[in-house]
Amino acid sequence: MNTKAAHKVGASDMTLTAVTKNRNIDKNILLSKWRVLTGTLTFERHIANAFDADDERLQMIYDLVRSLDIVLAPLAVAELNDQRVSHLTELIKRATLYGNLLLSQGAAWSFQWIKGRNAGNRAAFPALVQLTDSNGIELPEMYILAGGEA
């Protein structure tokens, strides 16, 4: 049993729900600290010197580009093949940097597909939603940093 959780809740009020909730809060706080520490320790390698010749992520990026190109090539103009592949590679590199930036934040984030206002009621882009503050404490309500587009 988590004695810290038992102390916070109080012996007379202790329930399984209260202990579980406190454990989740503790996990969120620890995860928040881990993200910030990991982001700090990997900054030089993954952000400051991103995609230099010895970056091991480049091979994974090129593999992903090849896989996506198999699907996208039939839908594109053949004369722009080199430009399309170059743009796709750059897009994936930027997404990688964005992922590393989000990882290094203490807050937890989620992409949520919020239904759009168009006839099909589909979202074209997900909303970026903050779930916890920078200390790992759950927010009382959802905070949408970047809204999804329909």
Q: Which residue has the higher pLDDT, 115 or 9?
A: 115
The token pair that represents 120 in the structure block: 């099909």
pLDDT tens, position by position, 28-55 = 889 999 999 998 898 888 888 788 888 8
* Contact call for residues 65 and 92 (beta carbons, < 8 A): yes
Identify the residue with better confidence: 124 or 3.
Answer: 124
Instruction: Identify the pLDDT of residue 46.
Output: 81
Task: Name the average pLDDT for the chain.
Answer: 79
Average of pLDDT values for 108-127? 71
